[in-house]
Structure 1
Amino acid sequence: MSTHDVDPSAIRRFASGRRAYGNLKDEAADFIRDAIVSGALPPRSKVDQDEIADTLGISRAPVREALIELAQKGFVDAIPRRGAFVAEVTAEDIEDHYEVVALVSGMTAKRAVKRLTPAELAELRRLHQQIAATGDVAQIQALNRRFFHVIANAGRSPRLDTILRFLGGALQGSFYFDAPGWVSNEATYRGRMLDAIEAGDVPATARISEEHVRSCAAVTAEHLRTRGYWPGAA
């Protein structure tokens, strides 16, 4: 495995202005994840535990805990006696990841159409309208997450919900929300989902749900190619 060195100043610049967390392990995990997505920590680069700890003003212990969690989610590769290195995500990894999410999302959406209450339907309409009325990207992401959470919760399958939550924290999901096209992509599929749900069309809702997730894979891959994440891609 060939590795890359990281300019320490890039990490320090990336840390500037970040808010403090109550949980140090979560703070370290979010910082490393964001550094990977932004490119401050490029693929195959070593994650320097001392540098991360010094930058955040914490001990190495929460950084080690964060790296264990990130290794489990595929953000980093832990190599015995060498340390943790940023995992390189291939186009096939992205496709596989989102294909699994698509299948689970389709199952959840299919159940949700039959079980959504009038109050939940009203909540979906309200969230969709609220998102359309704001230009704040952070608020859009939070409201959009709530919109799909209402659908997932209506499916009332704790196991499927657990799977989706785990997959939602994976590396590829973070890359998606770093892509410029995610806001318009979500608006398109959120509207189609709402129309199908209100029509009570179970097959269409499941199909649109799967198409939505697969579109996330396309947006993510295009973003990484444009950013030059893969050698030879421009």
Structure 2
Amino acid sequence: MSTHDVDPRLASGRRPYGNLKDEAASFLRDAIVSGALPPHSKIDQDQVADTLGISRAPVREALIELAQKGFVDAIPRRGAFVAAVTVEDIEDHYEVVALVSAMTAKRAVKRLTPAQIDELRRLDQEIAATTDVVRVRDLDRRFFHLIANAGRSPRLDTILRFLGGALQGSFYFDAPGWAPHEATYRQQMLGAIDAGDVLAAARISEEHVRRCATLSVDHLRSRGYWPDAA
């Protein structure tokens, strides 16, 4: 598939960004994970710039960033190509996230204030009463981030910022079954927090994130993301 196919598929979904490099990076990342730009395809910088109505400079900066995060392979004198994300890549990513999440969950159980715990319950109740999928996803992320923020440290902040941009969330949030999986996680975490059980909180967090990896891989397989896979 030519990168010229990006325009009709994705231009209508463009979102406003203050930073042109970030806009280009988000646009390309979405194109890659949606399959509009399949693995090994060459990225046409002029086409991307024309589609977004920007110059090539922020597109080049975006490609450098995406190459650092593993989305793009930059080959001297040939250009930038979409990197192939393997099953192992996804599993490795989520395994690291699982370990970090377990650390933050253990700390959060000890640090969460009564007001923050009430907010977690409120978010869970609001999610249960909401049918808007986008709203559910937003509230669910707020639930997860509230726990993560309570248990983080400056060093973990650095790790979490990198991990947050290293793999597109739509791998998981487009997968069937993510919503009930998240509901189970929230209920289990609230139980562990109420009991003050740091070991249970760590185990629940690890199992939750590893299940995210399984759902993501299964979903991508069902979409034919790895057409040569058995």
* Counterpart contact for 1:152–1:161, Cα < 8 Å: no
With 165-174 and 141-150 compared, the bigger mean Cα shift is at: 165-174
Q: Could you tell me how far apart the structure 2 residues matched to 1:138 and 1:99 are?
A: 26
What is the aligned length? 230
Q: Could you tell me how far apart the structure 1 residues matched to 2:64 and 2:11 are?
A: 21
Counting only pairs closer than 5 Å after superposition, residues 6-21 of structure 1 correspond to structure 2 as 6=2, 8-21=4-17
* Counterpart contact for 2:95–2:209, Cα < 8 Å: yes
From 195, 198, 206, the equivalent of 2:202 is 206
* Counterpart contact for 1:12–1:55, Cα < 8 Å: no
Q: Cα offset for 1:178?
A: 2.7
2:160 is aligned with 1:168: no
Q: Could you tell me how far apart the structure 1 residues matched to 2:196 and 2:44 are?
A: 52
2:98 is aligned with 1:102: yes
Residue 44 of structure 1 is matched in structure 2 by 40
Spell out structure 1 runs of 4+ moving beyond 3 A: none
With 209-218 and 80-89 compared, the bigger mean Cα shift is at: 80-89
Q: Could you tell me how far apart the structure 2 residues matched to 1:72 and 1:7 are?
A: 21
1:46-73 deviation digits (Å, cap 9, x = unpaired): 1111000011111101111111111111
Percent identity over paired residues: 79
Q: Cα offset for 1:80?
A: 1.2
Residue 21 of structure 2 is matched in structure 1 by 25
Q: Using a 3 Å threshold, how does the CA distance of structure 1 residues 91 and 13 change in structure 2: closer, same or farther?
A: closer
* Counterpart contact for 2:6–2:36, Cα < 8 Å: yes
From 142, 145, 150, the equivalent of 1:149 is 145
* Counterpart contact for 1:25–1:62, Cα < 8 Å: yes
Q: Give the CA RMSD over aligned residues.
A: 1.7
Q: Could you tell me how far apart the structure 1 residues matched to 2:58 and 2:224 are?
A: 32
Classify the secondary structure of the residue corresponding to 2:81. Answer: strand
* Counterpart contact for 2:3–2:47, Cα < 8 Å: no
From 105, 111, 115, the equivalent of 2:111 is 115
Equivalent position amino acid for 1:195 in 2: G
Q: Could you tell me how far apart the structure 2 residues matched to 1:181 and 1:86 are?
A: 28
Q: Could you tell me how far apart the structure 2 residues matched to 1:48 and 1:185 are?
A: 38
Mind listing any 5+ residue stretches in structure 1 that lack a counterpart? none
Q: Using a 3 Å threshold, how does the CA distance of structure 1 residues 70 and 10 change in structure 2: closer, same or farther?
A: closer
Q: Using a 3 Å threshold, how does the CA distance of structure 1 residues 156 and 88 change in structure 2: closer, same or farther?
A: closer
Counting only pairs closer than 5 Å after superposition, residues 87-98 of structure 1 correspond to structure 2 as 87-98=83-94
If the length of structure 1 is used for normalisation, what is the TM-score? 0.92
* Counterpart contact for 1:172–1:220, Cα < 8 Å: no
Equivalent position amino acid for 2:171 in 1: F
From 64, 67, 70, the equivalent of 1:68 is 64
Q: Could you tell me how far apart the structure 1 residues matched to 2:167 and 2:98 are?
A: 16
Classify the secondary structure of the residue corresponding to 1:55. Answer: helix
* Counterpart contact for 1:25–1:66, Cα < 8 Å: yes
Q: Using a 3 Å threshold, how does the CA distance of structure 1 residues 201 and 135 change in structure 2: closer, same or farther?
A: same
* Counterpart contact for 1:11–1:40, Cα < 8 Å: no
Q: Using a 3 Å threshold, how does the CA distance of structure 1 residues 148 and 162 change in structure 2: closer, same or farther?
A: farther
Mind listing any 5+ residue stretches in structure 2 that lack a counterpart? none
Q: Using a 3 Å threshold, how does the CA distance of structure 1 residues 140 and 34 change in structure 2: closer, same or farther?
A: same
Equivalent position amino acid for 1:62 in 2: P
Equivalent position amino acid for 1:179 in 2: A
* Counterpart contact for 2:24–2:59, Cα < 8 Å: yes
Equivalent position amino acid for 1:74 in 2: G
Residue 78 of structure 2 is matched in structure 1 by 82
2:187 is aligned with 1:191: yes
